[in-house]
Amino acid sequence: MNKTITGFSKLSKSKKIDWIADTYFTDSESAKNLIKQYWNSDKKLQQLHDEFIENTITNYYLPLGVAPNFLINDSVYTIPMAIEESSVVAAASKAAKFWSDRGGFRAEVLSTEKIGQVHFTYKGETETLQSFFKILKPQLIKAAQPITHSMEQRGGGIIDITLNDKTDSLEHYYQLHATFETLDAMGANFINSCLEQFAKTLKQEAAKTLEHDLIVIMSILSNYVPNCLVRAEVSCKVEELTDNSTISGEAFAEKFVQAVQIAEVEPYRAVTHNKGIMNGIDAVILATGNDFRAVEAGVHAYASRLGTYSSLTHAKIEQGVFKFWMEIPLALGTVGGLTKLHPLVKLALEMLGNPSAKELMKIVAVAGLAQNFAALRSLTTTGIQEGHMKMHLMNILNQFEATSEEKASLVEHFKTHTVTHSAVVSAIEKLRQ
């Protein structure tokens, strides 16, 4: 069967679904029914979702949960989290409660600078280009004023533009490196619009002034934002660090610090360590309508900034006090994008008190730190599988279409038995006999 199609984007939604179902599925009617089952019954709301992206056929649901009891800078938050992975919300909630009894989390925004670049080649002398740029720079800023005017009125705009000579890395390669303040906006469209105007002005002025050709390759923001940083931390006396009777605060603190140190020096461990941090961060970013792919890319680049991939979190014991902290780049927004379109994003932001971008940076960073604390706490005491598999139990039961009565019985059973997939299967079979 021919699986290529011309003009797919021009088909109606129903025709798109018909083609997909008839082309790719043995039981096309079942496929169509499943696709339509996830449509929203509110036609206006469904149309809104359909118009977020192109070629939409249905909605793909993720659970939206909440983690309460987060004490951040003396204010209490219930944090919304959109994620499919078992135990993430539970772990965040447990860490939040643990630290709320020990003074809570502290968080501060260290800087909010965002970056964009115009990449171009020039075959003339570097000194000539540098002299040209000194004259060009105020013209670049002036030409972009229609774009920056509104942002400047709110206190943001272009921070600086520099000329970077990258010819040591790539022949004839230079860049305009621009820094921006976008306040509560994510800023992608603002930054890219400014960059494209810079490129236009650069080409126009170069054609008038320079003897050699200047060729603009592309203009685009960077998702690596090492100067858009937020710090989150917790601390308490070592003897207060554990509520587990099987291990002392001193022993737990020492083991915890060693676990973090391993992630600082061992990339294989660091990747999984940081993935756990991102479980918390991505879940809040998704719930608040931000771009988790951009954040992921920037965060992992930051984790490699010293030449080796390493832990984002750090811990130490100093004069009887345990300290656990993280500095992380987070370019977030609370206006623009989906923040005023997606009803659940608006709900999530209102739940958080309609935070500014800086406030949201703090909340998101704390969620990541809490997630990492919870994971390391499990790893260095009971092991990660005990808690994770108990949370995963319901997924296994749903795979076997367990009834409410079977679920209640088996949940009770596994309160005192180790959860494994084979153990659950065996218990279900025994129960059904």
Q: What is the DSSP string of 382-419?
A: T-HHHHHHHHHHHHHHHHTT--HHHHHHHHHHTTSS--
pTM of the model: 0.89
Structure tokens at 150: 């509104």
The H or E element that residue 292 is part of is helix 292-303
CA gap 153, 156 in Å, rounded: 7
CB atoms within 10 A of CB 53: 7
- Tell me which residues are annotated as active site: 85, 275, 291, 388
In the block, residue with structure tokens 């930051």: 302
CB atoms within 10 A of CB 93: 21
pLDDT per residue as tens, the chain (433 positions): 678 999 999 999 999 999 999 999 999 999 999 999 999 999 999 999 999 999 999 999 999 999 999 999 999 999 999 999 988 999 999 999 999 999 999 999 999 999 999 999 999 999 999 999 999 999 999 999 999 999 999 999 999 999 999 999 999 999 999 999 999 998 999 999 999 999 999 999 999 999 999 999 999 999 999 999 999 999 999 999 987 778 899 999 999 999 999 999 999 999 999 999 999 999 999 999 999 999 999 999 999 999 999 999 999 999 999 999 999 999 999 998 888 899 999 999 999 999 999 999 999 999 999 999 999 999 998 765 555 565 667 778 877 778 888 778 877 777 777 777 787 888 887 778 7
Angle at 95 between CA 90 and CA 97, to 5 degrees: 95
Sign of CA dihedral 53, 228, 104, 371: positive
